[in-house]
């Protein structure tokens, strides 16, 4: 029986790989051998627990204040040793993390076919987002099967001379995961959030962590958030604070003492999904949130100057606003004050998936191995 080895190590990867793992495990003709690196430890484990996934192998590479090069080398070394005992017929890597690139390179160097989930995303700026843009481009060079989430991503790959026969448009598995988890209505571990869920006040969800925003830009975001909290005392602003001390030192001093700014620890995926569903506006610099929030009809203001996910910008549910303090205040204020502007974004079509991306993914993998045919491409 062909062995398929999904390899992942961070929370975003785990979320998007979970529907694929479940679909592979349900396929009686494939042996799914889940391997995790532990690039994110606690957050990774939370997602696996939520979806009932028990990894067969755990490299547990995490170290305090680990560097990108450290993650890369420990992952390649760990996988190379694993391949001496378990030689998969294909590995599956997701997206643009250091784990995914290391997994792709380790497999390629052993002659193992690489399946790249969420292939073809491009910001066209090698240093923004960093290191993700470089990671996904490197992975594209060694992949045998490119699973593009959208036709835009497919077209990016075609322009880079990837053969059309090696590309399948699947939709994004984040929508598969989102639709499953949102039905669970996972309770909040923080009682303050349960209180917010019970009231009828408007809520703005704020997340920020990007490396390129750290420093002055992030301090400006903190000041903007403090100004918004003062201008809208009837609105709650929820900030799940990234554990990186550089992030906390930049943004938290500005909002200290603001009664309607609720700072929490990072939320487990199920809780975070519920918080998105409760939100009225999402202000973020995250990549994945740009896909998740539109799936629940939430306007998204993205604190970046470019995005590798332009589909929702074109659709109108996502808007790039950068990190300028005045611009952040102005754009959030517009959505809170102007019902027409709000409705235009909230009612836009989500171009990222229909909840069946995992099915298309497994069918494409089976075709790669000569075991069947693909399903028709996803089209938004």
Do 228 and 254 lie in one domain? The reply is yes
Q: What is the pLDDT of residues 118-144, one digit of tens each?
A: 999 999 999 988 999 999 999 999 999
Any idea what DSSP says for residue 29? T
Q: What is the pLDDT of residues 177-216, one digit of tens each?
A: 999 999 888 999 999 999 999 999 999 999 987 767 777 8
Do 342 and 359 lie in one domain? The reply is no
What is the model's pTM? 0.85
Q: Is residue 322 part of a domain?
A: yes
Do 247 and 272 lie in one domain? The reply is yes
Do 299 and 166 lie in one domain? The reply is no
Do 160 and 195 lie in one domain? The reply is no
Q: Is residue 204 part of a domain?
A: yes
Q: Is residue 74 part of a domain?
A: yes
Q: Is residue 177 part of a domain?
A: no
Do 149 and 290 lie in one domain? The reply is no
Do 47 and 124 lie in one domain? The reply is yes
Do 233 and 164 lie in one domain? The reply is no
Do 68 and 127 lie in one domain? The reply is yes
Residue 73 maps to which CATH number?
Answer: 3.40.50.2000
Q: Is residue 375 part of a domain?
A: no
> pLDDT 10s per residue in the chain (380 long)?
999 999 999 989 999 999 999 999 999 999 999 999 988 888 889 999 999 999 999 999 888 888 999 999 999 999 999 999 999 999 999 999 999 999 999 999 999 999 999 999 999 999 988 999 999 999 999 999 999 999 999 999 999 999 999 999 999 999 999 999 998 889 999 999 999 999 999 999 999 877 677 778 889 888 999 999 999 999 999 999 888 888 788 889 989 999 999 999 999 999 999 999 999 999 998 888 998 999 899 999 999 988 888 999 999 999 999 999 999 999 999 999 999 999 999 987 788 999 999 999 999 999 999 999 999 999 87
Do 14 and 160 lie in one domain? The reply is yes
CA angle 74, 80, 85 (to 5 degrees): 130
Number of domains in the chain: 2
Q: Is residue 238 part of a domain?
A: yes
Alpha helices for the chain (secondary structure H): 11-26, 42-51, 68-83, 98-109, 132-142, 151-159, 173-182, 191-198, 216-231, 245-255, 269-278, 289-295, 311-315, 325-337, 339-346, 357-368
H or E stretch including 6? strand 3-8
Do 151 and 198 lie in one domain? The reply is no
Q: Is residue 178 part of a domain?
A: no
Active site residues per annotation: 96, 118, 132, 209, 211, 242
Do 60 and 37 lie in one domain? The reply is yes
Domain containing residue 156: 3-172+353-368
Distance CA 293, CA 286 (A): 11
CB within 8 Å of 21: residues ≥ 6 apart: 6, 32, 34, 51, 53
């Amino acid at each position: 029986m062909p062995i398929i080895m999904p390899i992942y190590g961070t929370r975003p990867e785990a979320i998007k790989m979970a529907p694929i793992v479940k679909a592979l495990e349900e396929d009686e003709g494939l042996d799914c051998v889940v391997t995790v690196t532990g690039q994110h430890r606690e957050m990774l484990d939370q997602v696996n627990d939520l979806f009932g996934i028990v990894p067969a192998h755990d490299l547990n590479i995490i170290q305090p204040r680990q560097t990108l090069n450290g993650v890369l080398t420990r992952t390649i070394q760990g996988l190379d040793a694993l391949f001496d005992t378990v030689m998969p017929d294909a590995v599956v890597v997701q997206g643009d993390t250091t784990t995914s690139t290391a997994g792709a390179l380790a497999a390629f160097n052993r002659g193992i076919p690489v399946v790249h989930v969420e292939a073809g995303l491009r910001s066209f700026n090698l240093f923004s987002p960093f290191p993700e843009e470089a990671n996904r481009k490197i992975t594209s060079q060694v992949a045998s099967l490119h699973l593009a989430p959208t036709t835009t991503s497919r077209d990016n790959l075609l322009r880079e001379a990837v053969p059309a026969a090696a590309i399948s448009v699947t939709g994004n598995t984040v929508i598969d995961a989102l639709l499953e988890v949102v039905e669970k209505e996972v309770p909040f571990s923080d009682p303050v959030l349960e209180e917010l869920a019970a009231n009828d006040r408007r809520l703005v969800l704020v997340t920020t962590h990007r490396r390129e925003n750290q420093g002055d830009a992030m301090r400006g975001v903190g000041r903007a958030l403090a100004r918004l909290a003062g201008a809208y005392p009837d609105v709650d602003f929820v900030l799940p604070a990234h554990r990186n001390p550089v992030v906390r030192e930049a943004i938290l001093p500005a909002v200290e003492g603001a009664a309607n700014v609720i700072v929490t620890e990072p939320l487990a995926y199920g809780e975070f999904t519920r918080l998105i569903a409760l939100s009225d506006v999402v202000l973020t610099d995250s990549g994945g949130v740009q896909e998740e929030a539109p799936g629940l009809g939430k306007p998204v203001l993205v604190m970046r100057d470019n995005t590798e996910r332009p589909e929702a910008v074109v659709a109108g549910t996502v808007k790039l606003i950068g990190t300028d303090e005045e611009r952040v205040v102005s754009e959030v204020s517009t959505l809170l004050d102007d019902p027409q502007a709000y409705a235009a974004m909230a009612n836009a079509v989500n171009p990222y998936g229909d909840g069946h991306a995992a099915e298309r993914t497994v069918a494409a993998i089976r075709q790669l191995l000569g075991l069947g045919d693909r399903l028709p491409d996803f089209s938004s």
